Amino acid sequence: MDIKAKLRYAALLSLIFIFSSGVSGLADTTTQVSSETGVYYTVKKGDTLWGLSQKFSDNPYTWPDLWSKNGQLTNPHLIYPGQKIKLVHRSDLDKLGTADKAMDAAIEDAEPVESAETAKETEPRTYYYSKIERAGFMRREPITPHGSVFKLKGTDQLMLGEGDTIYIKASEETPLVIGARYVTYRTLTPRQITARFLDVDRKKLNRVRKEIGTQHYLSGVVEITGERGGFFIGRITDSYRSIKLNDMIMPYKKRSRNIPILDGLESMEGEIITAEEGETTFGEDMVGFINRGTADGIAKGQVYTVFYYETKKPTDALSDKGLRVPVNIGKFIVLDAQEETATILVTDSIQGLSPGDHFAFLK
C-alpha cells in the first residue's frame, strides 16, 4: 500500500472517530507540530508492530517500514502502552498536496500533541525489580519491633515456607491486629557486620566504619490469623529466607516493583558500606547499602556510578606526585532511603564492588 493509500486509511479512521464521539483525533492521537511530526498512534496493551502494520497498512509484513519510521524503538518486538508510534511523516503529507479535502480536514482538525521526540523525553523511565520486597535496610538505631517469633510449626522447621505456622509474642507497646500482615526480620549489629570484613582493605573500611548502622534483614511475611492464651498465631504468606526463632516483626507495607528512574545529585559523593548478604565483594543484581540517606538528598530511584581512584605516574619530570584518576567499576539504583543510609541494587558492574568504594553522579 502506497503512502497516499495509508494516509487515506488513517484519515478515514479519524473521521469515523470524530463523528462517533465528537472528539478530535486519529485512533488516540495525531499531530502536526513541526516539520518532523506527522500522524501518530498511542500504543495500547497488546499492540505489536506486526498488528499495527496490519491495521494501518493492511499488510503485517510492512512492520520493518513502520519500525524504520520510529528511531526511538530500539527493539521492534518490545513496545509499551503509552508510547507514540509515528504512522506517517510530515514530509510524506507534504508530498501529497491538498487534493483530498476530506483527508486534510481530518488531519487539520486533529488534536495537537507533542512530537514523538518530545513524548519520548517526557515518558517516565522506570526500573523493574521483582525482588523489591525482600530488600532490607540499615539504620543508625534499630526500629522498635511489634513482636517476636517464639515458636515454629511446620513440616521442616529449618525450611519454613508459605502456609506454615509461627507463634508470636506481641510487644506491650504495639498490639497486633488479627488479619493484618507483618514482615519478619532479624538484625545485625555494626560489630557483627564489621566482623565479616576480614579481607577488606583497612583504608577503605575506615572510610565507612563509623557509619555502619544496624542492618534489618527481612525473612518473610506473615498474616495474623488468631490469638490464644496471650500470644498470636501467624500464617506465613511469603518466605524470602529462612524464618527463625526470635525473628522480629514489623508492619508490612507493599512496595512497587516499578521504580521511577531519577538522575542523582551532581553534588553527591559517598561510599559503599556493605552487601546485604555479607559478601565483601559483590556485583550486578546484588543488594547493598551506602553511607548517604534522605538527610543528604538521597531518594528512591536515583542512579549513581561506583568508582575507585587510581594513581597515575606523574608526566612532569619535576613532579613527584601522581595524578589520582577515577576508575568507574559499576552503577546502582537506590531502592530505599533511610535518614542516614540507603539500600541499593547494583545494575551494572565491571568488577566487584567492596566496602569503601566511592560513588557519585556522573552523566
Answer whether residue 141 is part of any domain.
yes
100 and 160 assigned to the same domain: no
Taking the model in full, what pTM does it have? 0.65
Considering the chain, what percentage of its residues have pLDDT values greater than 90? 48
Answer whether residue 208 is part of any domain.
yes
Domain boundary among 100, 122, 144: 122
Answer whether residue 139 is part of any domain.
yes
- Does residue 308 or residue 154 have the better pLDDT? 308
- Does residue 27 or residue 308 have the better pLDDT? 308
List alpha helices for the chain, DSSP H.
3-21, 49-57, 63-68, 90-96, 101-108, 116-122, 190-194, 202-208
Answer whether residue 34 is part of any domain.
yes
306 and 231 assigned to the same domain: no
The winner for highest mean pLDDT among 67-76, 147-156, 267-276, 310-319 is: 267-276
244 and 326 assigned to the same domain: no
List Cα–Cα distances, 230 to 126, 164, 172, 176, in angstroms: 45, 20, 11, 11
231 and 266 assigned to the same domain: no
Query: Which tens digits make up the pLDDT trace of 307-329?
Result: 998 887 766 555 566 678 889 99
Q: pLDDT grade, residue 136 (50/70/90)?
A: very high
Instruction: Print the domain residue range for 273.
Output: 259-360
Answer whether residue 45 is part of any domain.
yes
Question: Mean pLDDT across the stretch 339-359?
Answer: 95
Q: Which residues contact 284 (CB under 8 A, 6 or more apart)?
A: 330, 346, 347, 348, 349
* Whole-number pLDDT of residue 304: 97
Contact 286/333 with Cβ under 8 angstroms?
A: no
Answer whether residue 127 is part of any domain.
no
225 and 282 assigned to the same domain: no
Domain boundary among 53, 87, 122: 122
Take residue 252 and report the three cell numbers written for it.
Answer: 508490612
The CATH number assigned to the domain holding 310 equals 2.40.10
118 and 212 assigned to the same domain: no
Maximum C-alpha span of the chain: 86
235 and 267 assigned to the same domain: no
The region of weakest confidence among 135-144, 169-178, 293-302 is 169-178
Query: Which tens digits make up the pLDDT trace of 160-202?
Result: 778 899 999 999 888 899 999 999 999 999 999 998 888 888 8
Domain count, the chain: 3
48 and 108 assigned to the same domain: yes
What is the sign, positive or negative, of the torsion defined by CA atoms of 24, 27, 29, 34? negative
Answer whether residue 286 is part of any domain.
yes
* Whole-number pLDDT of residue 115: 46
55 and 77 assigned to the same domain: yes
The CATH number assigned to the domain holding 60 equals 3.10.350.10
The region of weakest confidence among 19-23, 143-147, 215-219 is 19-23
Answer whether residue 172 is part of any domain.
yes
Domain boundary among 122, 154, 183: 122
Average pLDDT, the chain: 80
